[in-house]
């Protein structure tokens, strides 16, 4: 979705009974409640939860920065051979950011990174320097009671030099008469990352690939299945997040992927990852004001929940787990937060799905969707109160 660099983009109430009849009625009600949730339990098993009556899903934010510097104006020549300089063109966030969101209990932290940096040569060892930076962030997440998602933020692409030309290579597509980046390379990346993190409990999940789109001749369903299989073959049973094609758009999930789930997992520990923004084109750019949007669409207050419903219904119908990897609103008009985001999160809570807001990170500056605190971590962003009304499990 949109970023500053255009790469983007039951609580069950217990009652005391004073007669055998009330006890029977209570037990009957409990049985009905359990039956009602049976069809959606795969959506509700987002973690260990906090005990009976507590939410089993988790809430947090994407920590952006390590995926920056991959295009104009920072690094127009970005590639695996020219990945940019840490500290000037991209940035792994400081411990202060992890401390802040841990204290706010927005403790599911999706750490966005670039494939070209973590693995500068395809199907070769990972970069020791980049791996150390990532592991430092994960250690800070652990220090402050957070869980981490490692997110490959590449849109099913890899920038490399082909025939002396910087080329944006879509996985399994042909460039200069041959496939330059293959499914086998993608599987190799995740097998190596698995080797680093399978025994690290702070790493909650693997985000295989952020927002695949415009895949050309490639088959994203086959590719994502192959990658999951590679991780399982490495002896790793961690939660794996499977993004959807077409930018992972929640409202397009059925039309993009058809009615059926495509992943087979021997560990039965995966979730489909959808993204959802609330502006007219679902880009997250929010080019129009709230009033301009409302004039064009009187249903704007329910736009987020309506878009979400497509994905939630698909997951329920397939008895699979879902995760909302990105959603965000501007902080310059309270109606985006208090109405649209509030209704969306109410329905996300009811679906029992994990979610990470887009976005936080120390390099966002005035980016209007950012929830990174201002003034040396002393001033919260306007979106924060809405997010804090919808906290998940600790």
Domains of the chain and CATH, by start: 54-388 (3.20.20.80)
- Rounded to the nearest integer, the mean pLDDT of the chain is 89
Residue 29's pLDDT band (cuts 50, 70, 90)? very low
At 108, list the tokens: 């599911």
Residue (of 141, 154, 147) closest to 96 by Cα position: 141
Residue 62 scores a pLDDT above 60: yes
Q: Is the pTM of this model over 0.85?
A: yes
Q: What is the pLDDT of residue 76?
A: 84
Q: What is the pLDDT of residue 10?
A: 30
170-199 average pLDDT score? 98
311-333 average pLDDT score? 98
- Residue scoring higher pLDDT (9 or 120): 120
**Enclosing H/E stretch for 165:** strand 165-170
Contact residues for 174 (Cβ-Cβ < 8 A; gap 6+) = 217
Residue 54's pLDDT band (cuts 50, 70, 90)? low
* DSSP-derived 3-state class of residue 337: helix
Integer Cα distance of 323 and 206 in angstroms? 12
At 97, list the tokens: 């950011």
Q: Are 367 and 383 in contact (CB under 8 A)?
A: no
Q: What is the pLDDT of residue 393?
A: 86
Q: What percent of the chain has pLDDT over 90?
A: 84
**Tens digit of each residue's pLDDT (9 = 90 or more) over 284-313:** 999 999 999 999 999 999 999 999 999 999
Q: What percent of the chain has pLDDT over 70?
A: 86
Residue spans of alpha helices (H) in the chain: 20-38, 41-44, 95-103, 115-118, 128-143, 183-197, 220-233, 253-257, 290-296, 303-318, 334-335, 342-351, 384-388
Q: What is the pLDDT of residue 5?
A: 39
Q: What is the pLDDT of residue 12?
A: 28
Contact residues for 215 (Cβ-Cβ < 8 A; gap 6+) = 156, 170, 171, 173, 245
Residue 394's pLDDT band (cuts 50, 70, 90)? confident
**Tens digit of each residue's pLDDT (9 = 90 or more) over 214-264:** 999 999 999 999 999 999 999 999 999 999 999 999 999 999 999 999 999
**Tens digit of each residue's pLDDT (9 = 90 or more) over 338-379:** 999 999 999 999 999 999 999 999 999 999 999 999 999 999
């Amino acid at each position: 979705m949109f970023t500053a660099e255009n790469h983007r983009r039951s609580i069950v109430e217990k009652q005391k009974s004073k007669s055998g009849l009330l006890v029977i009625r209570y037990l009957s009600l409990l049985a009905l409640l359990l039956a009602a949730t049976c069809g959606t339990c795969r959506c509700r098993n987002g973690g260990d939860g906090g005990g009976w009556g507590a939410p089993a899903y988790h809430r947090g934010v994407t920590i952006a920065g390590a995926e920056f510097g991959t295009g104009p104006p920072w690094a127009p020549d970005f590639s695996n051979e020219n990945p940019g300089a840490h500290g000037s063109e991209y940035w792994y966030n400081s411990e202060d950011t992890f401390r802040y969101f841990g204290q706010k209990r927005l403790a599911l932290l999706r750490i966005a990174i670039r494939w070209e940096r973590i693995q500068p040569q395809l199907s070769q060892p990972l970069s020791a320097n980049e791996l150390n930076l990532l592991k430092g962030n994960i250690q800070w997440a652990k220090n402050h009671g957070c869980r981490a998602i490692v997110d490959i933020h590449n849109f099913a692409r890899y920038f490399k030099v082909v025939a002396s030309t910087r080329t944006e290579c879509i996985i399994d597509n042909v460039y200069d008469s041959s496939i330059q980046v293959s499914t086998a390379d993608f599987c190799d990346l995740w097998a190596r990352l698995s080797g680093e993190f399978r025994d690290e409990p702070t790493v909650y999940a693997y985000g295989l690939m952020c927002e695949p789109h415009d895949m050309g001749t490639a088959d994203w369903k086959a590719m994502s299945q192959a990658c999951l299989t590679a991780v399982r073959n490495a002896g790793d049973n961690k939660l794996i997040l499977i993004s959807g094609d077409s930018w992972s758009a929640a409202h397009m999930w059925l039309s993009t992927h058809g009615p059926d789930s495509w992943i087979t997992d021997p560990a039965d520990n995966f979730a489909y990852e959808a993204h959802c923004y609330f502006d007219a084109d679902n880009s997250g750019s929010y080019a129009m004001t709230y009033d301009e949007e409302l004039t064009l669409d009187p249903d704007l207050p329910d736009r987020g929940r309506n878009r979400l419903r497509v994905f939630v219904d698909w997951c329920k119908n397939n008895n699979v787990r879902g995760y909302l990897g990105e959603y965000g609103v501007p902080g310059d008009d309270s109606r985006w937060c208090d109405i649209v985001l509030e209704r969306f999160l109410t329905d996300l809570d009811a679906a029992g799905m994990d979610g990470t807001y887009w976005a936080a990170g120390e390099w966002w500056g005035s980016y209007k969707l950012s929830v990174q605190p201002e003034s040396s971590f002393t001033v919260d962003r306007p979106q924060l109160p809405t997010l804090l009304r919808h906290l998940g499990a600790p």
